[in-house]
């Protein structure tokens, strides 16, 4: 897999590029070679346990079939619960119940979850009592936006503490003050090339390589320079007479030829597209063996699969409303959101296409203006600055110099961004009362945090509304009303994405939100390919499509993989199943 690895190895990249598969295969290869290895997932939507067929969770667990390999999934919610109890527990029976509830309310936000998970993360970088027994610790990190935030946190929280920041949203400052030395040690470890290597995992796609280049630059800017590029899922060079395969080969070559020069200069390892899902030890070990192609397989396209066009018909019937695409990173939420928005606009409706995903690139996907379609992005940086300016001009207007300085310090706390983004999210939801709003959401973990904030807001509004509650419509009420909001869960016809999508649906159901439909994206079964690798992968899709059809979705659509990237209005409409020119 990778040569001469240091003790700490991070695999990071855009969602869906294969970080977990490469992390698991690397860990297995090292353990098979006699090394003692700890595999850690910091992804809120971890599926390491599913890959190994072992229940792991938030404790170090041996992988029985691989001597020398241990695994750990950092559970942000579990860590947050333990963190809250460490703070609140000693106060029970000492403080009044009302005061305890106030403290618990302070500790209920996303910041507490982030800090609690980060405490566990830093322990693995700095505590020899925990890590001394291992030759290597392999981190399967969350999608890029989350990872960059996680890696910046040691410096961010240290700086926050240096300035004596207000900790009203974080819990008692003393709880963070105790971690100052450990945070500093974590920064040192991440920046030490002899101890840490950052492997940027990407696909041979223009958008994925561009994301890797941005990540590389951001990591270098925070002092992490020991980087390695892993290009995963390269189409084998022999097209075997298959038109789709030939197009995919050409697409890979063009993307690699246009790679950012600084990214191309990094040491790199390339991995071929495999004919199987990388689940189970046998498949993981085959990652270390050369791919051998045999004769082409005969296969015809499955013509009974429902198209995206029928779902758009159902969405259009309401005449307006909010459409949200959700799912694991890398499944094509941005593409599906853009395809639905372009089709609705082509049918003459006014449509706003927007995103809450920091890693989304809607303008690149649309590749030009579309009549009746406007595009926006909820930019966390811009929204946070707008929010700060508003608070300073209102609440801060009557404060003296000392009071204003304290308010400015409070607005530099990490919770401010969450509040600002939520307010922007709420504004977009209101627009759906008069037009179609199609929202491309961030990867699953981020989306659920956003929805959790929406739910907290809903409960707070209803608690204070009293007799007027019956006349109010909160953002959560809109999300829970299928007449107002249609949620499309986007997935791939692969084991892990379908399981992850099912977990997302369960979480939404617990919040009183019922997904309206599922979209299975980039399906090979719908293409009729005869290339041996592609046909083998197409055959593995059948049970996953059946699972969606027979138990997970009340309605669904299957979108075929295209020979060319779905960029531009015409190709996006081809995904829907309609190809006429836009009027």
Q: For residues 505 and 188, give the distance between their C-alpha atoms in angstroms, rounded to a whole number.
A: 40
- Considering the candidates 15, 18, 68, 329, report the single residue annotated as catalytic: 18
State the Cα–Cα distance between residues 420 and 439, nearest whole angstrom.
17
The verdict on whether 21 is a catalytic residue reads yes
Alpha helices by DSSP H, 268-328: 281-286, 308-316
Residue tagged active-site, from 21, 112, 334, 447: 21
Start-end of H helices in 169-228: 173-177, 180-191, 206-221
**Residue 169 contacts residue 109 (beta carbons within 8 Å):** yes
Q: Exactly one of 12, 14, 15, 43 is catalytic; which is it?
A: 43
Per the residue annotation, which of 215, 496, 523, 529 is the catalytic one?
496
Which of 20, 41, 384, 527 is labelled catalytic? 20
CA distance from start to end of the chain: 51
Tell me whether residue 43 is one of the annotated catalytic residues.
yes
Is 577 within 8 Å of 308 (Cβ atoms)? yes
Q: Is 282 labeled as catalytic in the residue annotation?
A: no
For residue 18, indicate whether it is catalytic.
yes
Number of other CB atoms surrounding residue 459 within 10 Å: 12
Q: How far is CA 498 from CA 66, 328, 331, in A?
A: 26, 9, 10
Coil, strand, or helix at residue 571?
Answer: helix
Main-chain phi, psi angles of 497, to 5 degrees: -60, -35
User: Would you tell me how many other CB atoms lie within 10 Å of the CB of residue 579?
Assistant: 9
Backbone phi, psi, residue 44, to 5°: -60, -25
500: buried, middle or exposed (CB in 10 Å: 19+, 13-18, 0-12)? buried
Q: Are 276 and 540 within 8 A, CB to CB?
A: yes
Catalytic residue (choose from 12, 13, 14, 19)? 19
Identify whether 68 is a catalytic site residue: no
Q: Which residues are catalytic?
A: 16, 18-21, 43, 496
């Amino acid at each position: 897999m990778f040569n001469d690895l240091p003790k700490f190895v991070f695999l990071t990249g855009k969602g869906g590029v294969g970080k977990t598969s490469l992390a698991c295969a690397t860990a297995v290869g090292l353990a098979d070679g006699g090394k003692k290895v700890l595999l850690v997932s910091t992804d809120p939507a971890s599926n390491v346990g599913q890959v190994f067929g072992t229940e792991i969770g938030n404790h170090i667990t041996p992988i029985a079939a691989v001597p020398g390999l241990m695994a750990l999934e950092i559970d942000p919610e579990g860590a947050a619960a333990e963190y809250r109890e460490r703070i609140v527990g000693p106060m029970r029976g000492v403080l009044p119940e009302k005061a305890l509830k106030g403290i618990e309310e302070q500790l209920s936000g996303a910041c507490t979850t982030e800090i609690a998970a980060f405490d566990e993360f830093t322990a693995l970088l700095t505590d020899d009592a925990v890590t001394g027994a291992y030759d290597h610790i392999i981190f399967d990190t969350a999608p890029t936006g989350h990872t960059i935030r996680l890696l910046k946190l040691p410096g961010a929280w240290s700086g926050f503490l240096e300035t004596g920041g207000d900790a009203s949203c974080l819990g008692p400052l003393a709880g963070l003050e105790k971690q100052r030395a450990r945070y500093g040690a974590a920064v040192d470890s991440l920046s030490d090339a002899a101890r840490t290597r950052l492997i940027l995992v990407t696909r041979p796609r223009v958008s994925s390589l561009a994301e890797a280049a941005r990540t590389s630059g951001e990591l270098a800017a925070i002092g992490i320079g020991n980087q390695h590029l892993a290009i995963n899922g390269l189409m084998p060079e022999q097209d075997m007479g298959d038109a789709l395969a030939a197009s995919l080969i050409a697409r890979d070559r063009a993307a690699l030829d246009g790679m950012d020069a600084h990214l191309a200069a990094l040491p790199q390892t390339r991995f071929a597209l495999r004919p199987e899902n990388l689940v189970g030890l046998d498949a993981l070990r085959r990652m270390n063996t050369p791919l051998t192609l045999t004769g082409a397989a005969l296969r015809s396209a499955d013509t009974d699969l429902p198209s995206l066009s029928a779902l758009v018909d159902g969405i259009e019937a309401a005449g307006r409303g909010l459409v949200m695409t959700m799912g694991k990173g890398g499944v094509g939420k941005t593409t599906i959101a853009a395809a639905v928005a372009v089709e609705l606009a082509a049918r003459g409706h006014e449509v706003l296409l927007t995103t809450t995903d920091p890693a989304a690139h809607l303008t690149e996907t649309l590749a030009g203006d579309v009549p009746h379609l406007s595009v926006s992005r909820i930019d966390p940086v811009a929204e946070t600055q707008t929010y700060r300016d508003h608070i300073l001009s209102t609440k801060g207007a009557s404060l003296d110099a000392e009071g204003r300085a304290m308010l400015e310090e409070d607005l530099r706390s990490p919770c401010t961004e969450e509040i600002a983004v939520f307010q922007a999210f709420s504004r977009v939801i209101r627009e759906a009362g008069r037009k179609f709003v199609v929202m491309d959401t961030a990867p699953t973990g981020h989306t659920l945090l956003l929805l959790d904030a929406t739910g907290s807001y809903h409960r707070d509004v209803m608690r204070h509304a009293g007799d007027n509650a019956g006349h109010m419509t909160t953002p959560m009420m809109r999300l829970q009303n299928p007449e107002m909001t249609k949620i499309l869960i986007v997935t791939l016809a692969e084991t892990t994405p379908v399981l992850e999508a099912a977990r997302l649906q369960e979480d939404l159901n617990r919040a009183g939100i019922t997904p309206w439909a599922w979209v299975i994206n980039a399906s090979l079964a719908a293409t009729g390919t005869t290339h041996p690798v592609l046909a083998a992968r197409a055959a593995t899709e059948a049970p996953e499509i059946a699972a969606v059809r027979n138990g997970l979705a009340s309605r669904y659509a299957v979108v075929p993989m295209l020979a060319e990237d779905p960029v531009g209005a015409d190709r996006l409409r081809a995904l829907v199943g309609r190809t006429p020119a836009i009027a």
